[in-house]
Amino acid sequence: MSAAETAAAGVVDPELPFVTIAELGILRAVTERDGRVTVTITPTYTGCPAVSVIREDVRSALAGVGFPDAVVETRLNPPWSTEWITEAGRRKLAEAGVAPPGRRPLLTISVRCPRCGSPETEELSRFGSTACTSLWRCRACAEPFPRVKER
Ligand SMILES: [Zn+2]
C-alpha cells in the first residue's frame, strides 16, 4: 500500500472507533495522480452524520503524510452493504459487543447476543445510540446491545 492508502485505511469510524473505515468497507478507493490524492468513500448509512467527520479525519490523515490538498469524494452508488465489512471488522465489532450483521442473502432469523451467544434476542428500538445501529436486548442475560443495521 502507498503512504496515502495506509493513512486513509487507518482512519477509524467516529461512531464505532474500534474499527477502521477500511474494515467497515467505507473506504472504496485511494488514487494518486500528479501528487494529488483522491479518496472515495461510501457512507454506511444515508444521512449518517459521521460522514463529515470521516471526511475531515481522512483529510487530516493525508495531510499528515504529505498530501495537504487531498480530495474526499462520496460515492452513493452502489450503496454500502454490510457485505463489505471485512473479517477483521466483523471480529472487532463482535469483541466490542456490537453484533455483526448477518450475511445476505441469508435471512437473519436470530441475532445472537454478543455477550453470551444466546439467540434469544429482541429488537428494542430501530434507533440505537448512533444512526448506524439499532438497540437490541438479550432475553438470556438481559443485556442490551447495539447492532449494526443491515443494508
Ligand atoms: Zn446474552
Indicate which CATH number applies to the domain containing 12: 3.30.300.130
On whether residue 67 sits in a domain, the answer given is yes
The pLDDT of residue 40 is 97
pLDDT in tens, 59-107: 999 999 999 999 999 998 898 888 899 999 999 988 888 887 765 544 4
**Residue ranges with CB less than 5 Å from ion ligand 1:** 113, 115-116, 118, 138, 140-141
Q: In this structure, are 14 and 43 located in the same domain?
A: yes
The pLDDT of residue 48 is 61
On whether residue 107 sits in a domain, the answer given is yes
Ligand 1 center to 144 CA (angstroms): 8
Q: How many domains does the chain have?
A: 2
**The C-alpha cell that represents 46 in the structure block:** 444515508
On whether residue 88 sits in a domain, the answer given is no
Q: In this structure, are 19 and 54 located in the same domain?
A: yes
Q: How far apart are CA 127 and CA 34, in angstroms?
A: 44
Q: What percent of the chain is helix, strand and coil (3-state, nearest 5)?
A: 25, 25, 55
Domain interval for residue 123: 99-148
The pLDDT of residue 64 is 96
How many CA atoms within 13 Å lie on the side-chain side of 89? 23
Q: In this structure, are 105 and 76 located in the same domain?
A: no
